[in-house]
Amino acid sequence: MNDHKEKILKICNDTSKNTLMETLEIEYIDVGEDFLLARMPVTPKVHQPDGILHGGATVALAESVGSAASYIFLDGNKYFVRGIEISANHVKSVKEGFVYARAIILHKGRTTQLWEIKITNEADQLISLCKLTTIALPRS
């Protein structure tokens, strides 16, 4: 499993090059049977003007991790995966350090999938709770 895990994480991180994920410095760090985990540094680059993590950067992290998880768990060689709806409840602010996004599938349908993405800080406190709906479209 460890070799398989490292391969999946390498693919996720390699496909992030020259994308928003690279700009935000999102790094995929763990994967399991039912989750994908990534982290993002909280620096002034992702702050809103008053010096805390911007909600848009948080949502970009959540959608990135949820979409990557769909790709992994739905066989991305057979399907295109697209996010079709995302919502976020921001409950705590953070100024520095890292935030972690853990995507867990709530519903795995043939066409649509529902993901819960919890964003936490380094002390494992909830920062944001996001819900992402993805759609799997067959590759032709």
Is the CB of residue 98 less than 8 Å from the CB of residue 122?
A: yes
Residue 18 in tokens: 């020259």
Percent of the chain with pLDDT over 70: 99
pLDDT grade for 13, boundaries at 50, 70 and 90 = very high
Terminal C-alpha separation, the chain: 31
Active site residues per annotation: 63
pTM above 0.85, yes or no: yes
C-alpha closest to that of 101 among 115, 82, 81, 80 = 115
Sign of the Cα pseudo-torsion (56, 66, 96, 93, in order) = positive
Is the CB of residue 13 less than 8 Å from the CB of residue 40?
A: no
| CATH number for the domain whose boundaries are 1-138 | 3.10.129.10
C-alpha closest to that of 61 among 24, 11, 115 = 24
Taking only the tens place, the pLDDT of each residue in 23-55 is 999 999 999 999 999 999 999 999 999 999 999
Q: Where are the domains of the chain?
A: 1-138
pLDDT grade for 75, boundaries at 50, 70 and 90 = confident
pLDDT grade for 1, boundaries at 50, 70 and 90 = low
Sign of the Cα pseudo-torsion (9, 13, 16, 21, in order) = positive
- Beta-carbon contacts of 76 under 8 Å, excluding residues fewer than 6 positions away, are none
Taking only the tens place, the pLDDT of each residue in 88-130 is 999 999 999 999 999 999 999 989 999 999 999 999 999 999 9
